[in-house]
Every structure is written in C-alpha cells, then in structure tokens.
Structure 1
Amino acid sequence: MTNRTLSALIFTLLLVFESSLPAMAIVQASGQDDPLLTIGGKSVDKDELIYMLSKGTKSEPGTTGMSRDEFDENLDLFINYKLKVREAEAQGLDQTEEFLREFESFRENLKAPFLIRNSLEEGELRKAYSRMQEIIRASHILLKFPPNASKEDSLIVLRMALKIEDEIKNGSSINDLAVEYSDDPSAQVNKGDLGYFTALQMVQPFEDAAYALQAGQVSDPVLTNFGYHIIKVQDRQPNPGQVHVSHILVRIDENAPTGEDIAKRKVADIYNEIQKENTIWEDIVKNYSEDPASSQKGGILPWFSVGSMIPEFEMAAFSLTEVGEVSPPVRTRYGYHILRLEDKRPVESFEALEESIRSRILRDSRSTMIQSQVMAIQKSRYNFDENEENVAKLRAELANTTKAGFSQALTAKGLTSDQLFLLQGKSYIAEDLADYMLEVEISLPSKSSVFDAWYDRFVAAVLNEAEESDLAANNKEYRMLLKEYRDGILLFSLMNEEVWQKGLLDSTAQRAYFEKNIQNYQWKGRSNAYIVKVLDLTQLDAARKALKDKPLSEELIASFESSYQSSNSLAYQTETGLIEHSEHPVLSKVDLNESYQELETNGHLHIVLMGEISPAGPKKFEETRGLVIRDYQEYLDESLVESLRKKYPISINPKAKEETFIALNQ
C-alpha cells in the first residue's frame, strides 16, 4: 500500500462514516507553541492536520484554496479520526502483538526511502543506467597474485603491472603482451580482447576504470579480487540495445584432420542454398543446423544484449540491420554460424530496468561498497568515536573464542566493562556486544574471528538505530508519515471491531435495526415484466411472432431465449424480473394494464410483456440485507463517534486553528 493510498483510505473511511457533528468547546490559545487541539487531555499538533490535508485535498491549478466551510468540515473529520485513535489506544490496541508486528513491517518499508543507504543506492542505480547507454570494447592483461601472497609478493606483481603499462604506452601491442604475460586463460585464444561489454557485466573496479578511459587510453594497474589488470579501451559506442536472432550451426570435428575444411564447405553450401529464391529458412535450419537446443524451433535464440554472447557471434548479430537479413558464415569456437535477424529493440527505460539493476548491484561488490559508505557517513554524522586501544585488546584476548563462549570469556577475563566506542555521547561496552550476540540469530563468515565478525555487525546495528532515531526526531516528513500509518492501523483495528465486524456478523441486531427503520426499506410499485430490446430490426417480426398474444411465463421466456441465442445471439438484449416500474427507463413509459406493448425509447424499439403487478410495500429482510448491513454499520459508526465525543473532552486552540487555515491556503 502506498503512502498516498493510506492517506486517501483514512479520509475515505471518515467521509463514509461521519455525518452530523455536535459542537465542541473552544479554548483560548495560551502561547505560540500550543497544540491545535486536545482530545481527552492528549494534544494534537497543527502540523499533523496540515500534513494530512495537504496530501488529501490538493487543489486544481488555477483554483482558489480551501474555503472556511471546507476547512471546518475537514477539521471535524480529523477530530473524529483522532477520537477513534484515542479510543484504540485506551483499549490497548497499540500494544497487541498483531499491531506491533504490522506496524514494524510498515516502519521497515516507510523508512527505506529516507535512509542514507537509499540515496547511495539510487546514485549507483542511476550511474549504472547511465553507463548502460554505452558499450565499451577493451583488452586487458591480468596478473594474479601467487597463493598465500605476502605483502612483498603483491609489490612484485604491482611492479610487473607498472612495467607492462609503460611498454603499452610506449607503443607495444597489449594483445601481443597479453599472450606473453596475462594470467587470464582466455588470453591465449582472444589475446586479451574482451569484446564489447556494458555496465554490470564486469566487476566494479574493472568497470569503473574502463568507463573512465577514452578509446585508445590505457589504465594504471587496477586491483580486483582476481589480481592487477592493465586495461586498454579500444572503442566506445552507443548501446544498440537487444537483438533477437535465429541461427544455423555447423560444428567442426576436432578429431578429423580435415574437420575444419569439411565444416567450411558445408556451411558455404548451406549459405548458397539460403540465397535461392523460395527457400524457407525454418526448413533449412531443421535439416542442417547442429544446435539441438534450437534446430527444431527455427534456430530461434533468446533476446540478448552486448556482453552476453561470445564476441564473434555478438558482433555478427548486432551488425545485421534489417529484419530477415542473413549474415555470411561466422566462425566461433563452437563452429560456423549463419545468423538471421528476427528483431531489435533499444535499451529499456530506467523504470523498466530499475529492479533488475538494483538486484544485480546488491549481489556484487557494490553492495559492500555502499555499506562502507553508509557507515562512514553515519559515523561522521553521529559522532562515532572508537576506543581503538580497547578494541585491539579485545580482538587479541578473544581471538580464539566461540560465539557460545563469548560472554563467559568476557567475564572470566574481566573485560565486560571495556569501552568499545562512543556514539552521540553514549558509551557502548563489551557487555553490550555480548548481549547483542545473544539476541541476534545470523550466520556470519567463518574466515574472520568471532569478535571481528560480530563487532562489525554490532557497530552497523547501533549506527542504523541512531539513524532511525534521528529520522523520527528530526525528519518531519518521515515522522508524520510514520504517525499516519500508526494511527491508520489503529483506526482500522477499532473500526473493524466496533463497526464492520459487529455490523456484518450480528444478524439479531441487523433485524432489530431493520424493523426499527422499516420505513427506509420499502418497495415502490413493481411489475413482473419481460423486456426485449430489439438490436436488429430485421428480427422484429420473429420476436413479435414468438411473444405477441401470449401470457408471460417462465416457459415462454426460456423458449424465446433458447431460440434466439442459438440462431442470432446479437439480435436482442433482454431483461426480466419483478421490477420497480416508476424509475425504470422503459417500464415507466408503458401502460401497466396492457400485456403486450411496443415502444421506442433511447433510440431502440422495445417489446414489453407485462405480468402480475405488485403494489408498494415493505421489503423482506432477506431482500435488502446488504443495504441493511451498510446502514447498520453507518449507525454503529455514528453511535461510536457520539459516545467518544462524550467520553473525551475536546478543546480547540483558535489561534492554532487560524494558523492552520492560513498555512493550507498559502
């Protein structure tokens, strides 16, 4: 449910169920910061009403603001709303397990757009989408670290990377050097040429470096989890989007001495066959393609974008421009391909790709980077001050401690009161960390020590709590939104218990209400009638023949319906039943004493067969139960509001009321 939806829901509930409103006491304002009103001793700030009305009653451009009468009406609705929230609190509905669970779920969703992490994620999403507008072709040389590399080993690899960078910048071919030096196994085949790629297809440091280079430029050594890379961008182009192709594959028998020649001759013969007039592509594919996954489906492959296929195949696919165009044979490591273009489409909109981009970002190293940035900002904003000496001591003392034995080890070593850090002036000690470890059930990486793993998670949790507290205290929009949802849940709970379920399930009370208000549930004069609207005038005589001079009966209606439905179902529209004739567009114009009539109304000829006439009179309960339930629920709601107005004294601050009115009309 969106924020705007809930706001609309709350006011819809109020507008449906509130009607007449008694007068209330007006008290004199005593100061600038006085509340707008108090209900049963609890104050309500004017900002809350301004917030809700500004969301729910936006004026059209060029129209005047809210009138005095509209404002007073909305203020009364708001008071009724707050009365119900007040009663829900008095009944303890805000302490139930169901409420706490639902509100916590809402809070998790509501706070997300306001958090530091959200703005950083949004920045990464936009950056990734912006990069996706381009494709880059690059070559690289990878220098891996030896197993269990020392710091000196890493420096040796870095010096080698710098040496290779200098060679490339002095004119040496990166592709030749890739064959000689690269630890990427594919370099022996592709000479370090990675083909074209776009955003989110390489690890982040590699992508960042590549997108920072122009065509022809060479990077400094780039460190990733694989080692050091030297990158040279060969080309940059606008992203062509996605392509849809079908293909024919001719495989090469690597074990046959002439396997290459045989495959080459076969694919040439197939290509020549395709050029012939009246050749059917699907038949050629079925007869000759050696790709079992696609040969029986016309060679159709899934849609793909740049960076999804091997470079040779991809370049051939994207070079096709017209739907139906066929490529010359293309050699890849799988054999020879002939491609046909089925369709193309541009890069999709940001809105269409947003969730896909988000999912990919949260699965790669960017997620860790974002979390690091979030914590750095939080630490700065909330005055985080780590006691580095104590943390180092605890790390050493507890290096071999398990989670289960952590608290006991702290006590045994006398470390429970050792300070870990200060946050907003509050001290957090080792015992706080131990308590956190007992409360939280999570799996953490086994590579790091128990202290390091849990300490990092504890710091993150405390920082997140500080940010949320800061939001609730200082972000007015978030605070109002949170209160709106909280009160909305309470309103719904109270209405469900006191009005909706009671009105729906208490059949005895429904009947009593019905009998007491029987005057509201009256039939007007009704006629048993069969109305035939003639849509096809060529079928008028057939209808006359079937219906004229015959008494109205179920058998007659069934016979006529069956006949025209089977022969010409569009010739007529029919209506039958016991119908109040005074308001009916056709029956209000007929002579109630004539059994068969024809009359024209609303541009159509109607045939009407009249049966028994029933005079005006009271409805049976079963005939109007739905309307009775609705009315009874409205009655329960009015009674609830009336009782709450007696139970909780209401005081309005005239000065704050006027300030609210002015604020809503600015």
Structure 2
Amino acid sequence: MKHFITAIFFCFSVTVFAQIDKNDILFTVDEEPVMASEFVRVYNKNLDLVKDESQKDVDAYLELFINYQLKVKEARRLELDKDAKYIREFTNYKSQLTKNFLSDSKVTETLVKEAYDRSTEDIKASHVLIRIEETNTDTTQVYNRLLELRQRIMKEGYDVVKNEVHNGKTVFAEDLGYFSVFKMVYAFETAAYNTKIGEVSMPFRTRFGFHIVNVTDKRPSLGEVTVAHIMVANNQKDTLLVPETRINEIYKKLQQGEKFESLAKQFSDDKSSSSKGGQLAPFTGGQLGSQEFEDMAFSLKDKGQVSEPFKTDFGWHIVKLIGKSSIQPYEKTKAIFENKVKRDSRSKLINTSLAKQLDEKYKVVDNKDALSYFETIINDSYFKQAWIVPVDLEQEKIFLTIGTKKITYGDFAQHLFKIQRTYANKKMSTKALINSIYSKYKEDEVILYNKENLEFENEDFAHVLKEYRDGLLLFDLMEKQVWNAASKDTVGLKAFHANNKDNYMWEDRVEGVILSSANKNMIEKAIKLLNKGKTIEAIEAELNKDEAQNIISTSDIFELGDKELPKDFEFKEGISKVYEHNDAYHVIMVKTVISKSHKTLDAARGKIVSDYQNQIENDWIKSLNERYNVKVDHKVLKKVKSLILN
C-alpha cells in the first residue's frame, strides 16, 4: 500500500510539471523572471517538511518565496557572491555535491553491499609485509620470497617466522588483532575476508608493498546496544557538589533497591535523556564520542545489568543495559555505507568504471601516436626530477579530445613535468611510465569534464546547487543585515527590551534545598531534624550512616515549572510538606520566595536578541519590497493553484 501511494504521488508530481509550460513566468523581480516550475518544485519539495499550516497555503507560501527571492537579489546587489569566503565555501560544497552525483551506480551498489556484508563479521589476523615501491614492476623476487614464508607459516607457525623476519624497516610481521570493514586498505581487507580461518593467503599487493595475511579467527560483529545512563556532569552550578561523590551516592541508592529510571529523572545532568529515565538512542561501536562509554556499554551482558560508576570526559556515569541487537538491516544502513565507500580507496573502482562509461558518452578520441612520441622524449633525467619540456614540442597539437574539450601536447607535457617528483629514483621503462601516467590522466580528465558540465547535464544537480548557492548567499546576508545587527546594536537592544518588558518575566521562584529519598520515613525524619534547626550537612551525616545513601540534597534557585519541583508545589517560605514526585519523596526547605518579576536584559538576552532580530527582519523586508518592483502574473498563479490544489 505504501508503494502504491508513493507511485500515485510521483505520478501526480509528474503531471503537475507536465502541465506547466517551461516558459511560464510566475513573477518578476525588477524584470528578472522567476519560473512557475521552480515555485511548484520547491513547494512540493517542502510541503511535508513545514509544520506551520499557513505555509502550506499557496498564497502564504508565495509571499515567503517572493521574500526569499528579494533577499537573494539584495545579496547580489551587495556583491556578496564575489566575497572570497563565499566563493571558497560554495566551491567546497559544489565539490562535495559533485562526488555524490558522479558514480557508476551498479558498481557502487555492489561495493556497498559487499562492505555491509563484511561489516557483520570481525576478523583476527596477522600479516607479513615486504615493502616495495608502488611503481616498481620488478616483483618476482619479492613474490617468491613471500611464497616461501607462507609455506613456513603453515608448517612452523606464524610466531616463528615473525621473530625471524620482522625488522620494522623493509619487512613487517605484525599481529593486527580484530578488525572489520574500512579498517584496512581495500586490497588487504579483501584478501583477509577471502581467507579462511587457519589459512594463509597467497601474496597480494597494496600501495605499501606485498603481503600475506594469516587469519586466525572470525567472529560476529558487536552489533547495536541500547542503554540508559545517569550522568553527573563535571561542571556544576553548585560549587560544593563533587561529581564523584554525587555519583557514588546515587550508586548506593541503586544498591539499596531504588529504581534506576527514577534516579535518572531526579539527578541525571543529561537533560536530553533524564526525562526518559536516562534511556539513550541505540548506537553501534564507534558512533559515540566517548570510547570509555562505548566500552562499558558493550561490556554489559545481561538485560538490566548496571555498571559501577565510571568517568568520561563529560562526567561520571552509571549505565544500565536495556538491550542488544545484531547489526542493522542493509536498507537501514545503506546510505551510511555508501558514503564510506565513496571516501574509501575502493572509490577508485567506481571512478574507473564511470570513466569507461563517459568515454562513450563524450566520444573520447585518443591519439596513439602521441603516446609513442612522449615515450621518445622521456629519459633517465625524469627519474632524477631533472626533466624539462622540450623547446621544440608542438604545444598546440591535439593530444586528447573529450566532448568539446581539446587537450594538447603542451597540456600533457606540463602534467608530466609537474608530477615527475612522484617517480624520483623509480625503476621502470619509459613505455610503462607513459602508459601508467596516461591511463590515470585520461581517467581524471574525463571525470573532470563531466564535473564541469554536470550543472548543465543533470537537472537534479542543478536544482540542488542553485538552492545551496542562494541559501549560502542568504545566510551571509542575514548575518550581516539581521543577526549581527541585532546582537551588536546595544542601544537598540536596550530600547527594545524597555518597550517589551512584560514579554520577559521570571515565574515565581524559590531559593532553597530539596531533600530527596525513596523512603518516606527518611524524609519525615529529615523534617524533624530541620525543625530542630539542624544544618543540611548534619542531616545528611545522621541519615546516611553506615555507608547507606538514604537521602540526597540539592541546593539551587528553582523556578515554577522546573523538573525538580513537584507540579503542585506551594511557593512559601519554610519547610514544605512531603511531596511524592518522580517515584521518590521530597521536602523543600525554602529560604526565600522570589515573586514573579521582570527579567533583566542579561537574564533574557537570548530571547530578547531573537525577538529583536525578528523585528529588524520584518522592517528590512518592507524596505526590500520598496526597493524592488515585484510583478505577479495572476493568470499563471491561478494555473499553479489549480494544479497544486486539485
């Protein structure tokens, strides 16, 4: 049913575009046209993303779209598109976006599925590497040497060979431990995954040299884990609160049988999870920013098991295992693996396959005679970084043709000159050198030509690029005209605050101490001690004897609505009644009640700046409407409405 609905929506979208003439102009900004097809495309794209129902109204959305175009027009008038920072950011984005559109989809799919399949298994292995330059073609001796070592490992064992041959310079024999996909270069990874447990691979080559890999074990990957945690942050508002002491107090309460979820709600400083009893979203190895946290989470074996307190860079934690699951389904993780594949060395396979397709698309014409010619002008000086381009080289002679692009002898000669340091002190024939360089050069040039023309050949790419180009301009413009203007305009900000004071109010607050316990009797004892004038420190000392953690205190200023306060809390000075809240009992000793009052500019700066920015933006948009002449073609608008709404 889901696929059927998707198909209907797709057909509807196609119908909409089919009925709008590509030359239909919806409106102009100072005679510059904005096409109806662009408006419909953006409207349909954003329809499911907007939460404000008014933005789904065509007229309301058109007003937003016109304002957007006015801002882009203003940004260009101010020549923000010529700013060096803008050009650099846009170029970087275009380069990254281009990579997402340049690939052989069949080869990519195969490599992505292969990477996913490998991710389900960890391999334990050791290897022997004999270093040899990537350009060295005389490899027979090295290959045969590794064949001998392979036989010895199978007969005598790896450790014997390792101790004899490893020198850390030209020969490396190393235990690698467990690893999985993307941890090694692709050729090594492939050899390891294709070798059975207890076997040694045949020699194979990577950019480091020749290897043999000895696989000793394979195990299922760790998969995914779901945990809850209680965190006491390193930085505390209460300077008397020691994080390690507080986490140990909480741990004692857990050992006394109090609920993990209740303690998380009361005391965890991770506000994003405390209201959910400390539960975090599921994660896999390497996903979090704390290795210590991951190690502890994955070390828990039984559902409901709770760790001892441990420290990370963020603070002190206690972790509870909610559940573990095997690796996620392929379709759920496909996009993640595709991004990794495109950044990995195996991306070369995708580029090579793509270049072959583009050869046919752009009708690439080779000049075989050119390669023979370049073989004759290369000599030993090239391998000493002393080669120069011959004076009598026919610079303008055509070397390679890609579509409408002509690459000359001079272009290729300059490329040879620039990269000769890569081949310094190498040993190879001039024929092998030229063929190797040309193969890579041609592939790169074909893909470069595709990149340069992608915006004109691929409509989806052109749309995304335009959205980012305009969006980046808009960001720079808003930063200059609105955001910075509001935050730096001290006088204007003060005046805005003074004129809108009633919008920035403190709710009723209390300064005091909350005493909390899972045991109602303990809270009642605490009340008696408070009535006797005992200090908080004395009360804790008396009620938390014999290493028991019966009660915890929290000192602060609490505002109406704070999660620490019971919903029916009565704001008055003195010792409160006993409240039941978050599965525990609480008494609040209120030192001072602070009535509802106006917030100072500093106290509400964030909200005030935001509201002031909105006012500046609204005034600015009015001025843009006065600066630029906008004309809407209402006949085209009517057509657009009928297509969208019917």
Instruction: Give TM-score, length-normalised by structure 1.
Output: 0.52
Match of 2:482 in 1: 499
Match of 1:82 in 2: 69
| SS of alignment partner, residue 622 of structure 1 | coil
| SS of alignment partner, residue 38 of structure 1 | strand
1:35–1:604 Cα change, 3 Å: same
1:43–1:435 Cα change, 3 Å: farther
Question: Is the contact made by 1:527 and 1:614 (CA closer than 8 Å) also made in structure 2?
Answer: yes
Q: 1:44 aligns with which of 26, 31, 34?
A: 34
Match of 1:100 in 2: 87
Note the aligned Cα RMSD (angstroms): 5.7
Question: Is the contact made by 2:367 and 2:400 (CA closer than 8 Å) also made in structure 1?
Answer: yes
1:184–1:578 Cα change, 3 Å: closer
Match of 1:540 in 2: 523
Question: Is the contact made by 1:529 and 1:608 (CA closer than 8 Å) also made in structure 2?
Answer: yes
Question: Is the contact made by 2:26 and 2:637 (CA closer than 8 Å) also made in structure 1?
Answer: yes
After the TM superposition, which residues 288-307 of structure 1 pair with which residues of structure 2 at under 5 Å, given as runs?
Answer: none
**1:41-72 alpha-carbon deviations (Å, 9 max, x no partner):** 44334444444444444389xxxx98885343
- Determine the C-alpha separation between the residues in 2 that align with 1:501 and 1:103: 22
- Determine the C-alpha separation between the residues in 1 that align with 2:579 and 2:347: 72
Question: Is the contact made by 1:522 and 1:619 (CA closer than 8 Å) also made in structure 2?
Answer: yes
Question: Is the contact made by 2:71 and 2:474 (CA closer than 8 Å) also made in structure 1?
Answer: yes
- Determine the C-alpha separation between the residues in 2 that align with 1:370 and 1:532: 63
**1:460-500 alpha-carbon deviations (Å, 9 max, x no partner):** 34312321244311322222222222233223322333333
- Determine the C-alpha separation between the residues in 2 that align with 1:133 and 1:524: 53
Name the aligned partner's letter for residue 87 of structure 1: E
Residue 506 of structure 1, CA deviation:
4.4
| SS of alignment partner, residue 598 of structure 1 | coil
Residue 538 of structure 1, CA deviation:
0.8
Match of 1:598 in 2: 577
Determine if the alignment matches structure 1 residue 429 to structure 2 residue 412: no
After the TM superposition, which residues 16-95 of structure 1 pair with which residues of structure 2 at under 5 Å, given as runs?
Answer: 33-58=23-48, 69-95=56-82
Question: Is the contact made by 2:511 and 2:592 (CA closer than 8 Å) also made in structure 1?
Answer: yes
- Determine the C-alpha separation between the residues in 2 that align with 1:435 and 1:373: 27
Determine if the alignment matches structure 1 residue 420 to structure 2 residue 399: yes
Residue 382 of structure 1, CA deviation:
0.9
Match of 1:443 in 2: 422
Question: Is the contact made by 2:507 and 2:559 (CA closer than 8 Å) also made in structure 1?
Answer: no
Question: Is the contact made by 1:524 and 1:582 (CA closer than 8 Å) also made in structure 2?
Answer: no
Name the aligned partner's letter for residue 96 of structure 2: N
- Determine the C-alpha separation between the residues in 2 that align with 1:201 and 1:523: 59
Match of 2:201 in 1: none
* 649-658 or 98-107, larger mean C-alpha shift: 649-658
Residue 125 of structure 1, CA deviation:
4.5
Name the aligned partner's letter for residue 521 of structure 1: Y
Gaps of 5+ in 1: 1-28, 135-146, 150-180, 193-198, 212-223, 227-239, 245-344
Residue 505 of structure 1, CA deviation:
4.4
Residue 575 of structure 1, CA deviation:
6.3
Match of 2:600 in 1: 620
Question: Is the contact made by 1:536 and 1:572 (CA closer than 8 Å) also made in structure 2?
Answer: no
Question: Is the contact made by 1:395 and 1:452 (CA closer than 8 Å) also made in structure 2?
Answer: no
- Determine the C-alpha separation between the residues in 2 that align with 1:497 and 1:520: 26
Question: Is the contact made by 2:103 and 2:351 (CA closer than 8 Å) also made in structure 1?
Answer: no
1:497–1:569 Cα change, 3 Å: farther
1:458–1:610 Cα change, 3 Å: closer
1:371–1:665 Cα change, 3 Å: same
Question: Is the contact made by 1:528 and 1:613 (CA closer than 8 Å) also made in structure 2?
Answer: yes
Percent same amino acid at aligned positions? 19
Name the aligned partner's letter for residue 421 of structure 1: L
1:543–1:184 Cα change, 3 Å: closer
Question: Is the contact made by 1:533 and 1:573 (CA closer than 8 Å) also made in structure 2?
Answer: yes
Match of 1:166 in 2: none
Name the aligned partner's letter for residue 57 of structure 2: E
1:504–1:387 Cα change, 3 Å: same
Structure having the higher Rg = 1
| SS of alignment partner, residue 443 of structure 1 | helix
Q: Quick one: higher RCO (CA 8 Å, sep 6+), 1 or 2? A: 1
Match of 2:630 in 1: 650
Name the aligned partner's letter for residue 466 of structure 1: Y
1:457–1:356 Cα change, 3 Å: closer
Question: Is the contact made by 2:515 and 2:551 (CA closer than 8 Å) also made in structure 1?
Answer: no
After the TM superposition, which residues 77-476 of structure 1 pair with which residues of structure 2 at under 5 Å, given as runs?
Answer: 77-117=64-104, 119-126=106-113, 185=148, 242=219, 371-389=351-369, 391-392=370-371, 394-395=373-374, 398-400=377-379, 409=390, 412-413=392-393, 415-434=394-413, 443=422, 447=428, 449=430, 455-476=438-459
| SS of alignment partner, residue 116 of structure 1 | coil
Name the aligned partner's letter for residue 384 of structure 1: V
- Determine the C-alpha separation between the residues in 2 that align with 1:94 and 1:518: 39
Name the aligned partner's letter for residue 69 of structure 2: K
Matched residue pairs, number? 448
Instruction: Give TM-score, length-normalised by structure 2.
Output: 0.53
Determine if the alignment matches structure 1 residue 633 to structure 2 residue 613: yes
1:601–1:356 Cα change, 3 Å: closer
1:563–1:79 Cα change, 3 Å: farther
Gaps of 5+ in 2: 1-18, 122-135, 139-143, 156-180, 196-203, 207-216, 222-324
Question: Is the contact made by 1:533 and 1:606 (CA closer than 8 Å) also made in structure 2?
Answer: yes
- Determine the C-alpha separation between the residues in 1 that align with 2:187 and 2:574: 84
Question: Is the contact made by 1:39 and 1:83 (CA closer than 8 Å) also made in structure 2?
Answer: yes
Question: Is the contact made by 1:525 and 1:614 (CA closer than 8 Å) also made in structure 2?
Answer: yes
Residue 355 of structure 1, CA deviation:
6.0
Match of 1:302 in 2: none
Match of 1:486 in 2: 469
* 398-407 or 31-40, larger mean C-alpha shift: 398-407
| SS of alignment partner, residue 84 of structure 1 | helix
| SS of alignment partner, residue 43 of structure 1 | strand
Match of 1:329 in 2: none
1:368–1:110 Cα change, 3 Å: closer
Question: Is the contact made by 2:523 and 2:586 (CA closer than 8 Å) also made in structure 1?
Answer: no
Residue 33 of structure 1, CA deviation:
1.2
Residue 530 of structure 1, CA deviation:
5.3
1:534–1:454 Cα change, 3 Å: closer
1:359–1:202 Cα change, 3 Å: closer
1:371–1:604 Cα change, 3 Å: closer
Match of 1:234 in 2: none
